[in-house]
Amino acid sequence: MAISEIKKGKLFTDEVMHHVKNAFHFVDTDLNNRRRLFFDNAGGSFRLKKCVETYARLAATPDCPERLHDTAVYLQDIQNNGQQGFRMMLNVEGGTVYTALTASKAMFDMVRVVSDSASGSNMVTTVLEHPSSYDAMEQNARRTGRELRVAGSNKATGGIDVGEIISLIDQDTALLSVIYASNISGAKLDIEAIVSQARKIKPDLYVLVDAVQHAPHDVIDLTKTPVDGISIAPYKFFGNRGMGLAWLSDRVAALTHDKLNGKPDRYWDVGSADPAQYAMFGEIINYVCELGSYATDSAEQRSQFVAGMQMIALHERALLARLLDGTDTTIGLRKLANVDVYLDHQDLTRRDLILAINFKHLDPVAAVKEYDKRGVTVFERVNTSLYSKRMLESFGLQGAVRVSPLHCHSAGDVDEFLSITQEMAADRQL
C-alpha cells in the first residue's frame, strides 16, 4: 500500500460505498424519514439490517439451547459460531468468551475477579478510561487495600504516552487496565508497546483492555497484544444493544469467579446466554468479511475480516483528513474561523474517526442544538457529565462537541457537515 494511503486514508469506491450504505438502517434519514447526518456513532453505531432481522428471527423461537432436538442444536451451533467469530476477530485461540448485558458489567466482573486473586500492592489504569473500567479499578483497589495509580493524558496527542503508563508499573502491580482508544479524542493507545514493555517489568502481569470504542474502527490482533481480557459492545460495532462481549485468557478464566458448581472451571456465563445475540453478532462478522472480499480473493475468514477492517480504517482515515483539511472547494475544520479542533494530533494513523471541536461563540450544548436544527446529530462532552469530566479535565478542557461519523458516511456527507459547520461558525446571531 502506498505511504500516502496509509497516512491520509483511502475512500471506498462508489460501488463499495453503495454496498455499505445499503447494508445499514437509517444512514441518511432518521426514524421519521427526515434527512439527517448521524455523527454520534461513538454513542451507538448504525445498525446493520441483517443484525436487526437475524436478532428478531432468532428471538422469536422459545427453544432452550440446552436440549437435544434440532432447533436446540441449531441454537447451540449459532452460539458456538458467534464465539468462534469473536475469537477470529481477536485472532486468538482458547480462552473463554463471556457475555453480560453490557460491556461495563463484563469489565466490572473481570476487574473484580483479577483483583481478588492477583498478587501485588498497586493497580494501574489511565485517566482516559470510561467510568466502567476506571470506577471498577478505583472501587476494587479500595476494596482490596491497594494503591491506584493513574497515568495522565497527553494534550498534544489526545492519548496516553506509553512511557507514562510504564513508569507506573513495577513488580507489585497486580493489574493494568487500559483503554484501546479514547472515546473523547479518538486517540489510539499503543497497546502492543504497552503490553510488551509492562510485561518486561512484570512478566506475569494481568492486563485488561477496553476495546469498546476502538473495535469498530480497525483490526485487533491478540497475537501481537497478548492481553488477559478484552471487552467490546456490539451496539457500537454495527449491531444491536443488549450484549457486552468479553474474551478472557485461560489463566484469568480459571480464577475464582461466580459460577454454577457443575459447570467447567473456566466457564463464566451464569445462566443462559442469548442465542439471538450471538446470531446478531455473527452478522457483524459476515458483513466485515463480505466487505473484505472486495479487497482479497482469499476465502479464509480471518483474511477477509482483516481486509474488511482495513478498508474501514482507510475510508474513515480519509473522512477524518477531509473533515480536518477540507477540499479545494470546502474549508476544513482546522482552517474554519471561530472553530477550534481540540487534541488535533497530526498523525492520523494514531487516531480513530472521532473529533472534539468547539465554537468560539457557542457552548457545546448550544452547538449540539444548532446542529440538530440543521439535521445533524452530534453530542456534547462536558465536564458536568460523569462520562466526560475526568478525561476533559485531564486535557484542561471544559467541554467539546464530539463528532463521530462512521465508515457508512461518504465524502459528500462530510462536505455537507463542513458547510453546515461553516454556516454556524459564521452566524453571529447564534
- Least CB distance from residue 256 to ligand PLP, whole Å? 24
Q: Which is nearer to ligand PLP, 103 or 280 (CB)?
A: 103
- Least CB distance from residue 129 to ligand PLP, whole Å? 8
Stretch that binds ligand PLP, among 190-198, 206-214, 288-296, 371-379 (CB under 6 A): 206-214
213 contributes a contact to ligand PLP by CB under 6 A: yes
Q: Which is nearer to ligand PLP, 283 or 352 (CB)?
A: 352
Among 210, 380, 413, 416, binds ligand PLP (CB under 6 A): 210
- Buried b vs exposed e over 292-303: b needs ≥16 C-beta within 10 Å? beebbeeeebbb
Rounded to whole angstroms, the Cα distance separating 96 from 300 reads 23
- Least CB distance from residue 232 to ligand PLP, whole Å? 9
Among 113, 207, 220, 233, binds ligand PLP (CB under 6 A): 233
Beta-strand relationship, 355-359 and 37-38: unpaired
Q: Which is nearer to ligand PLP, 104 or 394 (CB)?
A: 104
Look up residue 50 and give its three cell numbers.
441483517
404 contributes a contact to ligand PLP by CB under 6 A: no
**What interhelical angle do 70-90 and 275-292 show, nearest 10?**
50
* Number of Cβ within a 10 Å radius of residue 8: 17
DSSP 94: S
Rounded to whole angstroms, the Cα distance separating 209 from 175 reads 11
- Least CB distance from residue 104 to ligand PLP, whole Å? 3
Rounded to whole angstroms, the Cα distance separating 234 from 352 reads 17
Residue type, 273: A
Among 78, 141, 208, 212, binds ligand PLP (CB under 6 A): 212
- Least CB distance from residue 365 to ligand PLP, whole Å? 19
132 contributes a contact to ligand PLP by CB under 6 A: yes
- Least CB distance from residue 223 to ligand PLP, whole Å? 23
Q: Which is nearer to ligand PLP, 162 or 208 (CB)?
A: 208
Strand partners for 399: 382
Residues of span 163-192 touching ligand PLP by CB under 6 A:
179, 183
Helix spans in 91-130 (H) = 103-117
- Least CB distance from residue 331 to ligand PLP, whole Å? 30
315 contributes a contact to ligand PLP by CB under 6 A: no
| Spatial CA neighbour of 325 closest among 343, 306, 344, 299 | 344
Residues of span 339-378 touching ligand PLP by CB under 6 A:
none
* Number of Cβ within a 10 Å radius of residue 176: 29
| CA atoms lying within 13 Å on the CB side of residue 88 | 21
Count residues binding ligand PLP (CB under 6 A). Answer: 12
Q: Which helix (H) or strand (E) holds 304?
A: helix 301-325
- Least CB distance from residue 324 to ligand PLP, whole Å? 22
Residues of span 138-157 touching ligand PLP by CB under 6 A:
none
Rounded to whole angstroms, the Cα distance separating 174 from 207 reads 9
Among 130, 188, 315, 345, binds ligand PLP (CB under 6 A): 130
- Least CB distance from residue 130 to ligand PLP, whole Å? 3
Rounded to whole angstroms, the Cα distance separating 245 from 225 reads 18
Q: Which is nearer to ligand PLP, 354 or 362 (CB)?
A: 354
Residues of span 53-112 touching ligand PLP by CB under 6 A:
102-104
Phi and psi, residue 88, nearest 5°: -60, -45
Q: Which is nearer to ligand PLP, 102 or 303 (CB)?
A: 102
Stretch that binds ligand PLP, among 209-217, 265-273, 286-294, 319-327 (CB under 6 A): 209-217
- Least CB distance from residue 42 to ligand PLP, whole Å? 7
Residues of span 2-21 touching ligand PLP by CB under 6 A:
none
244 contributes a contact to ligand PLP by CB under 6 A: yes
Rounded to whole angstroms, the Cα distance separating 133 from 104 reads 7
Rounded to whole angstroms, the Cα distance separating 314 from 309 reads 9
In the block, residue with C-alpha cell 481486509 = 307
Rounded to whole angstroms, the Cα distance separating 240 from 279 reads 11
Where on the chain is the footprint of ligand PLP (CB under 6 A)? Answer: 102-104, 130, 132, 179, 183, 210, 212-213, 233, 244
